[in-house]
Structure 1
Amino acid sequence: MSDDKEAYPAHPQNATEDDLPAVLETSSPAARFEHRQHSLTKIQAIKENKWGLVWCMYMFFLCITWGYDGLAGAIVISIAQFRRDYGTPYNGDWVIDANWQLGFQAATSFGLIFGAFASGLAINRYGRQPVILVAFLLSIAGAFLQYFAKDLAMFFGGKILTGIPMGAFTTAAPPYASEMAPLVIRGSVSAGMNFSIVLGQLLGYAVMRESTSTYTDDRTYKVMFATQWGFAGVALIFLPFFPESPYWLVAHGREDKARHNLAKLHDSSYDLDGHLAEIHDSLGRQNQDNEAQGSFAECFNSDNWKRTLVAAGMFFIQNASGPAWVVGYMSYYFQLAGMAADVSFDTTVGLAGVMVVGNIVGWFFVDYFGRRGTALYGSIILSITLFLIAILSLIKASGAIWAQVVFMAVWSFCYQATLGAVAWPITAEAATTRLRAPTQAIATMVNGLSGCIWSFSLPYAINPDEGNLGGKIAFIFGGTLAACCIFIFFLVPETKNRTYIEIDELWSRKIPARKFKTTSLITVTNDKAEEAGNTEVEHVH
């Protein structure tokens, strides 16, 4: 038993029924481990888990690759030499047929959705290491097809192949990071996934800027694809040493390997027994007879559908807040404001850097304001910003365009500091431990599908020869996001400083999302050795 026991009165004076703490029953080793997790400072947690965090950084690298790959295949269309090599002449310039452009977007989206689904199944059965290996092999093959493409059909095939790893990476990385990171910094580590994606995009812009200023032949765009081989090479060098998550190992009956991995990642004083007991408890909390990882179907049963909705809903909300429009069309608005094309591109790159900084700020927001607070307040601020952009689009004065640009920059920073960062920890923490991989896969598929819908519809809504909405499209994004605030208020719980066992207990008791933060849990040990009724109170959260 822990030396620092704390009794909690069964019925505090003047307390209502809702104020009473819920009892969380667990084993003594698990309770001891969780109590220590709650007591660690951030510095202590980093020191104690430094090697596990190193492998979280490896997963960050996968997401950097995701960001770079996703951008590389998209922005090459803006390179003049690429249009000359693969396009057709039009009014003194070269253009890529609009149907092919939509096809490239569809190829990436299909690859991402298929990759998420397939990797969700494969991770449950084989673990993350073989999935990461196959994903990088596909990335190498996809980059090869794009580099040596003889026509747009071959380039299209390459886009599908590079899209599949994008789905695999975002299915494998966030749950792994959330399982390996200590409680006190779990939110910041999970939010780092989005930072890595944005950093990858920034690197893509930098490579494009350098290649177009250095070369005048097909190397202006082929360098973009060749760089992807470098990412894959670095990742594959370290992959043989990759330690699988102890949660996955225990779920597959490999407790000795889980103990070995934990011992290798920590010093001799680490509480291995407590950590393994906590994993067993977390895996068996919903189904005590089955600790194996669950299926896609289980994500939609009566116990889990709401948790799946929260996880997938956060990625839908990300896309509904307008990143495809603001980020994708910002350079266009810069040029409307009078910037030269090359200056507008450099300014866009600079704003990508601002977005990276915004995401770093988000690491602190998810811990200071919590997951729920960051998502809710961030959505409100972004919705107001979008309505301001839309109102400014109704004003014909030339200065109104510059004002739109300024608010787009404000949106970019606020998005990365709030929704961009917080969706990842919310998604990773929403699912029960057994269903974390399939739930993340479902969320990734929703991300790809909703992003695809916006990407396909935006040109028709905005272009002067179609819907001609221009900046008025922000009314749609702002209104949609305002409705999403209601979803967040009623369905997204506060999981900051909650262990996975505690989160499961709150969900199983059907505690309203808005009351997760204020609900006390009293941890009670009830080991087999204490079955005669010798139950002891450990601590209260």
Structure 2
Amino acid sequence: MGATYTAYNLRIIAVLTLGSLTFGYAYSVISNTLGQPSFSAYFGLAGDDAYANAISGAVNGLFAAGGVFGAIHTGWMCESKGRKLTMNTAAAISIIGGAVQTGSVHIAMFLVGRFVNGWGIGMMVTLIPIYQAEISPPNARGLLVGQHGTWIVTGYAIAGWVGVGAYYSPNDALQWRLPISFSCLWPLMLIALSPWVPESPRWLLTRGRRDDAWRIIAKLHGAADDEGMNYAREEFYQMSQQVQVDEAAWAQGGNRQLFTRRSYLERMWMGFFVQYASQTTGAMVIYLYAVQLYQNLGETGSIPLILGATYVTVAAISNLVGALIMDKLGRIKLLIIGLSGCMISLSLVTAMVAEFAGTTNQAGNAMGVFFTFCFITFYGGGEIYPTHFRSQGMAWSIVGTFLSTLAYVEAAPTALANIEWRYYIIFVGLTLINIIVLWWWCPETKGLSLEEINGKFGDEVVVHFADASEKERAHLEATVGRGEELEDIGHG
């Protein structure tokens, strides 16, 4: 497949990663917030461990619950109103949630803000990879869509270091309000830059807006030369033909087919499983309660905050490396390597916590810290749905993320206080099972266009790139103008 990404692709991806950053920062900022003594003092959490554990679980649980509703909301709105309007709506809701948390005067207000914020980022984390996938060429889609994960974790890192800096402020309120207020910055920037982001050409095709879709496709592939123009024509032809067939199939049963048609049902559960499996490594439990974990391992003062920030900085680097090698190594191999590394690293973390937590053994505690960094290195290391239900399918997958996160992080404070390191054993065992299922069940999608992935699940692929020849030229001339006009668009 000849053509690859262009500067225009990269500019769009750069803007969309502000949505990824919105999710990552909002998700992560609470880790250091819960570790700020001023936060605990302001909301009356100090001195009552049982109450503090219940509130910590509620703070993270309500955020995840909001994410479930946000993902479901996106599944409808993304298809009905388009990708761009959904993105701006998600950004606006995220801003409202961040503002309510920043200005909270009692814990109930903070919890409401956390739920609203979760709703917004639930929408965002569902939408952004869909958007990125639909404007990325097949042979660079792993790299470009991989930026979603990289910038999520970059958001984690920024939140961590902002929290470290705020810790040294003499103003108690600033220590926790300032980091949370930054969660409004990234969605504000996304809204400001959204005029430079085009609508998804695949969504435009589902709405019969062929001319608009073609102009965007031509520009996405830099169709100013023969190679770019030919590639743009081939992809547009494949997309438009596949949309017609998919819509005809969809008309036979609508949403009901998501749970009655075998190929669709398999994709729904596969997407759900992959998201669930990533959370079942225990990554969110470790990170959201990392400050407390490092405190249990003997670290004091600002050191736990610094270690937490460094932890997610390593994750950001690992995610970038994963994005760079994904198109060559493949999705399934990379997932299995990552899950296996997480399982082994978490086993070692569990052993160190069981043996040395609460003791003065510096070497043992240091090894516990080290193995958490091994874990996130491996952890750092939604394209299986057809166009007509990609938004619903991705929403269902993200629901898997938030439901598993809700269960794990809501229970974590109480579980870690009562059964301690044994809580981590659950994640080790489940991850082993997930590795086996992933290897046996999930197909590789490396190098395939979004339309050609249909064939992996037994559905019809109307046009393969290898089959496209002069017929896509005739098709375009009949539907979006004469050949000369196509050349003008390609150069425009």
TM superposition score category, shorter chain reference: 0.7 to 0.9
CA distance in 1, matches of 2:185, 2:16: 16
Equivalent positions of 1:346-425 (< 5 A) are: 346-393=306-353, 395=355, 398=361, 399-417=363-381
Q: Which amino acid aligns with 1:366?
A: M
Q: Does 1:242 align with 2:192?
A: no
1:7-47 CA deviation, whole Å, 9 max, x = no partner? xxxxxxxxxxxxxxxxxxxxxxxxxxxxxxx134xxxx23x
Which of 83, 89, 92 is residue 137 of structure 1 equivalent to?
A: 92
**Candidates 4, 8, 25, aligned match of 1:68:** 25
Letter in 2 for 1:368: K
Distance 1:213 1:393, change over 3 A: closer
Which piece of structure 1 moves more, 393-402 or 99-108? 393-402
Aligned-residue offset at 1:161 = 1.4
137-146 or 164-173: which moved more? 137-146
**One of 247, 270, 295 as aligned partner of 1:310:** 270
RMSD: 3.0
Residues 73-82 or 485-494, more deviating: 73-82
Residues 362 and 102 from structure 1, CA distance in 2 versus in 1: closer, same or farther, beyond 3 angstroms? same
Structure 1 residue 249 displacement after superposition: 0.3
2:224 aligned partner: 268
Alignment of 1:153-192 (within 5 A): 153-192=108-147
1:102-501 equivalence runs, <5 A: 102-265=57-220, 266-269=222-225, 270-271=228-229, 272-286=232-246, 288=248, 295=255, 298=258, 301-393=261-353, 395=355, 398=361, 399-417=363-381, 428-463=382-417, 466-467=418-419, 469-470=420-421, 472-501=422-451
- Kept in 2: contact 1:65–1:228 (CA 8 A): yes
Secondary structure in 2 matching 1:431: coil
Q: Alpha carbons of 1:524 and 1:394: their partners in 2 closer, same or farther (altered >3 Å)?
A: same
Per mean C-alpha deviation after superposition, the further-off stretch among 168-177 and 228-237 is: 228-237
Unaligned runs of 5+ in 1: 1-37, 418-427, 511-519, 531-541
Deviation at residue 448 of structure 1 after TM alignment = 0.4
Q: Give the SS at the match of 1:338.
A: coil
Find the residue that maps to 1:304 and give its secondary structure.
helix
Amino acid at match of 2:138: L
CA contact 1:293–1:434 (8 Å) conserved in 2: no
Distance 2:157 2:298 in 1: 24
Deviations 1:134-182 (A, max 9, x none): 2222222222222222211111221121111111111111011111111
**Are 2:12 and 2:196, in contact at CA under 8 Å, matched by a contact in 1?**
no
Q: Judging changes above 3 Å, is the alpha-carbon distance between structure 1 residues 139 and 293 closer, same or farther for their aligned structure 2 residues?
A: farther
1:303/1:62 CA distance change after superposition, 3 Å: same
Structure 2 CA distance, aligned partners of 1:95 and 1:215?
Answer: 29
* 1:303 partner SS: helix
- Letter paired with 1:278: Q
Deviations 1:107-143 (A, max 9, x none): 2112111111011100100002221222222222222
Could you state the TM-score of these two structures normalised by the residue count of structure 1? 0.78
User: Percentage identity across aligned positions?
Assistant: 19
CA distance in 1 between counterparts of 2:379 and 2:396 reads 23
Residues 324-351 of structure 1: per-residue CA shift (max 9 Å, x gap): 2332344334334433231222122112
Superposed displacement of residue 103, structure 1: 2.4
TM-superposition CA deviations, 1:438-464 (whole Å, max 9, x none)? 11111111100001111122223321x
Query: Residue 368 of structure 1: CA displacement?
Result: 2.8
Count of equivalent residues: 463
After superposing the two structures, state which structure 1 stretch, 80-89 or 174-183, moved more.
80-89
Cα pair 2:234 2:469 within 8 Å, conserved: no
1:100 CA drift (Å): 2.9
2:13 to 56, 68, 92: 56
Are the equivalent residues in 1 in contact too, given 2:57–2:412 (CA < 8 A)?
no
Say whether the 8 Å CA contact 2:22–2:155 is kept in structure 1.
yes
SS in structure 1 at match of 2:263: coil
Distance 1:215 1:182, change over 3 A: farther
Gaps of 5+ in 2: 475-492
Q: Which amino acid aligns with 2:151?
A: S
Identify if the C-alpha distance between structure 1 residues 262 and 365 changes in structure 2 by more than 3 Å, giving closer, same or farther: closer
More helix per residue: 2
Q: CA deviation at 1:379?
A: 2.1
SS of corresponding position for 1:90: coil
Q: 1:293 to 1:97 in 2, by over 3 A?
A: farther
Q: Cα offset for 1:289?
A: 5.9
Shift of 1:67: 0.9
What is the letter of the counterpart of residue 508 of structure 1? G
Distance 1:521 1:263 in 2: 16
Q: Distance in 2 between matches of 1:88 and 1:351?
A: 26
Q: Is the 8 A contact 2:20 2:148 kept in 1?
A: yes
Paired residue secondary structure (1:495): coil
Is the 8 Å Cα contact of residues 294 and 435 (structure 1) preserved in structure 2? Answer: no
- Displacement of 1:102 in angstroms is 2.6
After TM superposition, give the deviation of residue 308 of structure 1 in Å.
1.5
Determine the C-alpha separation between the residues in 2 that align with 1:337 and 1:238. Answer: 44
- 8 Å CA contact 1:83–1:96 kept in 2: the answer is no
In the other structure, the counterpart of 1:4 is none
Distance 1:170 1:68 in 2: 12
CA distance in 1 between partners of 2:153 and 2:473 (Å): 51
Larger CA Rg, structure 1 vs 2? 1
**Change over 3 Å in CA distance of 1:431–1:296 after alignment to 2:** farther
C-alpha displacement of 1:209 = 1.9
Query: Does the aligned pair in 1 maintain the 2:101–2:114 contact within 8 Å?
Result: yes
The letter of the residue matching 1:167 is G
Offset of 1:475 from its aligned partner?
A: 2.6
Aligned equivalents of 1:297 and 1:103: distance in 2?
Answer: 36
SS in structure 2 of the partner of residue 132 of structure 1: helix
Matched residue type, 2:202: Y
CA distance in 2, matches of 1:295, 1:219: 48
What secondary structure is seen at the aligned counterpart in 1 of 2:199? Answer: coil
Identify if the C-alpha distance between structure 1 residues 83 and 392 changes in structure 2 by more than 3 Å, giving closer, same or farther. Answer: closer
AA aligned opposite 2:224: S
- Give 3-state SS (helix, strand or coil) of 1:339's partner: coil
